[in-house]
Amino acid sequence: MKVFNPDAIRNIAFIGHGGSGKTLLSEVMLYNAGEINRIGSIEEGNTTSDFNKNEIERNISLSATPLHLEWKDTKVNIIDTPGYSDFTGQVSAGLHVADVAVSVIKAAEGVEVGTEVTWENVCKHEMPAAIIINKVDNEHSDFQTTFEIAKDRLNNDATVISYPVNEGVGFDTVIDIIKMKEITFEDAESKKFSEKDISDEHKEKAETMREELVEKIAESSEDLMNKFFEAGTLNDEELQIGLRAALINRSIIPVFALSASQGAGIANFLDFVVNYFPSPADRSGVKAKMDGSDDEIEIKCVVDGEPTAFVFKSLSEAHVGELSVFKVFSGRLKAGMDMQNTTREKNERLGQLFILNGKNRKEVTELTAGDIGAVVKLKDTHAGNTLATKSHPVIINDIDYPAPIIRGAVIARSKGDEDKIAAGLHTFHEENPTVAVHFDPELGQTILSGQGELQLDLAVKTLRDRYGVEVDLIEPKIPYRETIKTVIGNAEYKHKKQSGGRGQYGHVVLKLEPLPRGTGMEFVDAIVGGVVPRNFIPAVEKGLNEITSKGILTESKVIDVRTTLHFGSYHNVDSDEVSFKLATTNAFKKGFLEAKPALLEPIFDVAVKVPETYMGDVMGDISSRRGKISGMEAEGPFQVIKARVPLSELYKYSTHLRSITSGRGVHTRAFSHYEEMPRDAQEKVIEDFKKAKEE
């Protein structure tokens, strides 16, 4: 495989709602470019992109898959990203290394919620972007309406580059307004197409759209605008330069009509990619920091720069080990080079370098700035890590992953599997960084959190298939908090024990007061006259810390209470630290139960984005979960419902939300505060806790 310089590389990421056809589109592009000799299908599970066993079983993409092809002496790297919202972190990873985001939309269904969610990511990072309106051969296809909706809801600078002549069943012809040609495609297997001058019946529309495109390009540059006013148009060279510049600064979002299944529109789309999409060198440099500094720098995509790469994906393959997929942001990478993992401060030597088409690998001798490849058997490098030189130890800004929205507790079915489970979940996290694993000492559970139920189920399935261990994923315990609602001035306990020889004696009187929510715990030493000697005060504090960390009602932490030690007594011989610690824990427990104790539950801020038609169902469901609606705001045809909902009511909420919104609702959540539970809910939690303790 030849080495490509940055100006001959294009990096694109296909994004969009599930089922929009991104994987088949990638497949047909590979076939057209001669990278594969037959077109696979989703149903048969033999596409290049969806090669993972779980992807084949479910007929959906679960991971961002790197692909590549060569088209007219230009290397096109493609990142095929999942459309299912559980795997939105893979979209974030793909966009982190792409230079152009291509949103794939269905010609009949139009802009769906998954389209908007991924598009928000594009806007956030101000990426150059394009839109493909796919499946124009659908009998309900409506290209013009879909285009207008995309223009309204995604970007008003969306501009048609190709449009269908005969959309619907039998679609095979597009008009390319760059080439000003009418292009008719044979079936996808043949790769054949023919170009001719635009027929008279379509010429007027094509010329009008061409004028709109030229004006749009001219508006993106003062220099081009002057030339446009002088000549009334732009020549081909000005058009090409202006269009590339307009793409880079996002003043144009090109829109293409095609059908991946028919192969129609593929060739002219690839022509546009190599002729007009920006190369890595055209983009501004990636943001980074020097190791040990917070000052931000920019790494330019230049071949003669310091070798720098960013690992955006890790794969674990049988018989190969971990495969680190990276983008070279500067310099050249060659097998055998000594690099430094600046993120983890580890030294690494590069082994064999590969370029990937799904599971298929081709060995290469080197990769230059702007290119995407993979390396095997790095010792301690994972997704999100930077590889640089010791002389130029930079750290590229990490991928902006979404926060988890679902959690489950991992329970081993067999004792002794804990080490295997820990190793398996660690590997799964490396491959899927949006899945977090941690042991919660407060709950005494291993908590698995991520973007959706399917993602967590895959983690469990991976443990079984790859590591041979069986686990159950159950509803996690809730980290409740306990507090009091009134003041108790004299919570007294005298610990006195005599059993021959030296006895035990400790006596304390405490005052308990509720504090405002979020204040925390306070201890006040108000002893006067030495009724409790100074050397026993630390034992009192220790006793308080023990009882408040364990709790009284449900063994949950006690919060927002001020405890004042204001009286007590001691014995010259029998008093010791243990006696005062025990006296304190018992006095606090006694006072706590008299001070109108209350159970607090964690409340989360939840934002649900749904089409307006589902608003009533979603709001009713939130109310049934003891949620409180705090506001609503419109985003095009979508409504964002903001609410505060108890964590105990959010178990598997993402799955339920998809169910009641036909897969069109998404949500985010973030911890807000602790709030007192309703009395009946408190009683049930306390009763369930007591039953569990008795079992």
DSSP per residue, 7-58:
GGEEEEEEE-STTSSHHHHHHHHHHHTTSSSS---TTTT--SS--SHHHHHH
H/E stretch holding 349 reads strand 346-349
pLDDT for the residue numbered 662? 84
Question: Strand pairing of 561-569 and 504-514?
Answer: antiparallel
Of the pLDDT bands very low, low, confident and very high (cuts 50, 70, 90), residue 240 is confident
Digit-coded pLDDT (tens) for 395-452: 999 999 998 999 999 999 988 888 899 989 988 898 899 999 999 999 999 999 999 9
Of the pLDDT bands very low, low, confident and very high (cuts 50, 70, 90), residue 90 is very high
CATH number of 286-396: 2.40.30.10
* Residue ranges covered by each domain of the chain: 9-199+251-282, 286-396, 406-468, 482-595, 600-690
User: Is pLDDT larger for residue 534 or for residue 226?
Assistant: 534
Per CATH, domain 406-468 is 3.30.70.870 = yes
Model confidence at 501: pLDDT above 80: no
Model confidence at 466: pLDDT above 90: no
Q: Exposed, middle or buried: residue 495 (CB in 10 Å: 0-12, 13-18, 19+)?
A: buried
pLDDT for the residue numbered 652? 92
pLDDT for the residue numbered 239? 86
pLDDT for the residue numbered 238? 83
pLDDT for the residue numbered 221? 80
pLDDT for the residue numbered 322? 80
Architecture of the 9-199+251-282 domain: 3-Layer(aba) Sandwich (3.40)
**For residues 362 and 243, what is the distance between their CA atoms, to the nearest angstrom?**
34
| Residue 57 zone, left/alpha/beta (φ > 0; ψ -120 to 50; rest) | alpha
Tokens of 103: 């949103």
pLDDT for the residue numbered 222? 80
| Cβ-based neighbour number of residue 584 at 10 Å | 29
- pTM here? 0.88
User: Which parts of 167-265 fold into alpha helices (H)?
Assistant: 200-219, 222-231, 236-248
pLDDT for the residue numbered 580? 98
Model confidence at 510: pLDDT above 80: yes
| Cβ-based neighbour number of residue 39 at 10 Å | 19
Of the pLDDT bands very low, low, confident and very high (cuts 50, 70, 90), residue 391 is very high
pLDDT for the residue numbered 537? 97
User: Which DSSP category does 490 fall into?
Assistant: E
CATH number of 600-690: 3.30.70.240
Instruction: Give yes or no for a contact between 608 and 620, defined as CB atoms under 8 angstroms apart.
Output: no
pLDDT for the residue numbered 694? 84
Of the pLDDT bands very low, low, confident and very high (cuts 50, 70, 90), residue 318 is low
pLDDT for the residue numbered 319? 60
Q: Assess whether the region 286-396 and the region 600-690 belong to the same CATH fold.
A: no
Q: What is the mean pLDDT of residues 570-581?
A: 95
Q: At 642, is the secondary structure helix, strand, or coil?
A: strand
H/E stretch holding 176 reads strand 173-176
Indicate the range of 120-129, 170-179, 232-241 predicted with least confidence.
232-241
- C-alpha pair distances (Å), 397 with each of 295, 311, 344: 12, 11, 14
Nearest to 361 by CA among 379, 349, 375, 371: 375
Digit-coded pLDDT (tens) for 616-673: 999 999 999 999 999 999 987 789 999 999 999 999 999 999 899 988 888 999 999 9
Digit-coded pLDDT (tens) for 207-226: 999 999 988 988 888 888 88
pLDDT for the residue numbered 416? 85
pLDDT for the residue numbered 20? 93
pLDDT for the residue numbered 585? 97
| Cβ-based neighbour number of residue 203 at 10 Å | 14
Nearest to 240 by CA among 277, 282, 285: 277
Of the pLDDT bands very low, low, confident and very high (cuts 50, 70, 90), residue 1 is low
Architecture of the 482-595 domain: 2-Layer Sandwich (3.30)
